[in-house]
Amino acid sequence: MGQYKAEAGLPPADAGREDRQIARLRALAGDANLDPDFTEKFLRFIIDEVIRHHRQLQA
């Protein structure tokens, strides 16, 4: 996906989509009696790493 975004000139991040994914996974975590805060932090870590990688591809 990062290579495609780089070739197509698309931004490495999509804040709206990221926010929707976080909200969805927080709800799933709550339904599963898991800590939504931890779930968000974990997902944010993954998103940040993916964005970092996408930016490297665009450089």
Task: Kindly report, residue by residue over 3-33, the tens digit of the pLDDT.
Answer: 787 778 877 888 999 999 999 999 999 999 9
Stated as kind and residue range, the H or E segment containing 27 is helix 15-31
Q: Which pLDDT score, from 0 to 100, does residue 34 have?
A: 98
Neighbour-count burial of 57, counting CB atoms closer than 10 A to its CB (0-12 exposed, 13-18 middle, 19+ buried): middle
Q: What are the C-alpha distances in Å from 21 to residues 5, 28, 39, 41, 58?
A: 19, 11, 11, 12, 24
| Backbone angles phi and psi of 10, in degrees to 5 | -85, 150
CATH fit for domain 2-58, picks 3.40.50.261, 3.40.50.720, 1.20.59.10, 3.30.1330.20: 1.20.59.10
